[in-house]
Amino acid sequence: MHQQIGTTDLQASRVVLGCMTLQQEPRAALATIHTALEHGINFFDHADVYQAGRSEETFAAIWQESPGLRDRIILQSKCGIRQAGEPDARAPKRYDFSRDYIVHAVEGSLRRLKTAYLDILLLHRPDALVEPEEVAEAFSRLEARGMVRHFGVSNHNAAQIDLLQAYLGKPLVANQLQLSLLHSHLINAGIITNQNHPPHAVRGDGTLEYCRRHRITIQAWSPLAKGAITGRLPDDADERTRQTAGLVAQLAAEKGVSAEAIALAWILRHPARMQVIVGTTNHERIAACMAANHVELSREEWYLLFMTGRGYPIS
């Protein structure tokens, strides 16, 4: 099952293979990529910091086996996170959206991926020192050189996107955000407006609505909550996690699908038409995740999952 990404002409699988944990052993990595392709995944998500760039290098081996593949898939990478100790020992871990660094980072990703262009570039984490004019200059340079086709962000709220967009010559097309049954804060923010419960702060108010309004595709990362609700219940799991895992397992049994399919279908059921990014290298789990495309959840089932995952009923 495919969908349009933002305002682009890209038709992408709703399930994305996240390449953060792609094996460094070439044969195993290639087998994972082929399995994803065989199950209909045509979208692969990278970042320059994944395994210090080695994930991108490992992925590039696919071109030798499938020379015509590049035109049939969508490659996305992210930049902006700089690790401690670079370029000198005193440098801390930080975020960097400066013009020169963005261009430099993309050049590195293209070199490691052995491709002439990225379909989408995302800015990885909000840079507190961002100068939107510099981002605009970097994007314009990358697009003019044919190095990046489309641009987006990751982990940005509505106000941060709006600030960047005011300086850009083309629309941002994606926003990659953490979202799962156990991390539903962005959805919850629209439910608890003007309520006293819960007492904890909910950040990112209006982000989902902003993205829907401006046709920015939301990409949910960690949609399976690191496996906590799909069969690998941690020994120290709290009651909320246990109840959520139990409900997911119950619905999976009723519908004859995997727990992964239920957890992902809950996100895909949202009218924002989100994508889900799965980082598994297990071939059976890739197939289990793809089954989410064919799961139908009623409104009642969706809200039951939502309330169980957040740990208390709605008012």
Q: Tens of pLDDT along 158-191? A: 999 999 999 999 999 999 999 999 999 999 888 8
**Does the predicted model carry a pTM greater than 0.85?**
yes
Considering 50, 95, 167, 312, which one is annotated as catalytic?
A: 50
pLDDT at 152 over 60: yes
Q: Tell me the percentage of the chain whose pLDDT exceeds 90.
A: 81
| Range from 115-129, 132-146, 204-218 carrying the lowest mean pLDDT | 204-218
Residue 6: what pLDDT? 97
What is the pLDDT averaged over residues 121-125?
Answer: 96
- pLDDT score for 203: 60
pLDDT at 67: 87
| Average pLDDT of span 31-49 | 96
In percent, the amount of the chain with pLDDT more than 70 equals 96
Q: What is the pLDDT of residue 22?
A: 85
pLDDT of res. 231: 79
- For residue 199, is pLDDT > 90? no
pLDDT band at 235 (very low <50, low <70, confident <90, very high): confident
Catalytic residue status for 50: yes
Question: What's the pLDDT score for residue 205?
Answer: 73
For residue 293, what pLDDT is reported?
A: 96
What's the chain's average pLDDT?
93
The pLDDT, as a whole number, for residue 204 is 64
pLDDT at residue 192 is higher than 90: no
Residue 86: per-residue pLDDT: 85
Lowest mean pLDDT among 118-122, 191-195, 249-253: 191-195
pLDDT at 200: 54
- The per-residue pLDDT for 103 is 98
Please report the pLDDT score of residue 269 as a whole number: 98
Q: How confident is the model at residue 241 (pLDDT cuts 50, 70, 90)?
A: very high
State the DSSP string of the chain: -EEE-TTSS-EEESEEEE-TT--SSHHHHHHHHHHHHHTT--EEE--TTGGGGHHHHHHTTHHHH-TT-GGGSEEEEEE-EE-TTSSSTTPPSEE---HHHHHHHHHHHHHHHT-S-EEEEEE-S--TT--HHHHHHHHHHHHHTTSEEEEEEES--HHHHHHHHTT-SS---EEEEE-BTTB-HHHHTTTSTT---S-S----TTHHHHHHHTTPEEEEESTTGGGTTTT---TT--HHHHHHHHHHHHHHHHHTS-HHHHHHHHHHTSTT--EEEE----HHHHHHHHGGGG----HHHHHHHHHHHHTS---
Say whether pLDDT at 250 is over 80: yes
Least confident of 45-54, 100-109, 282-291: 45-54
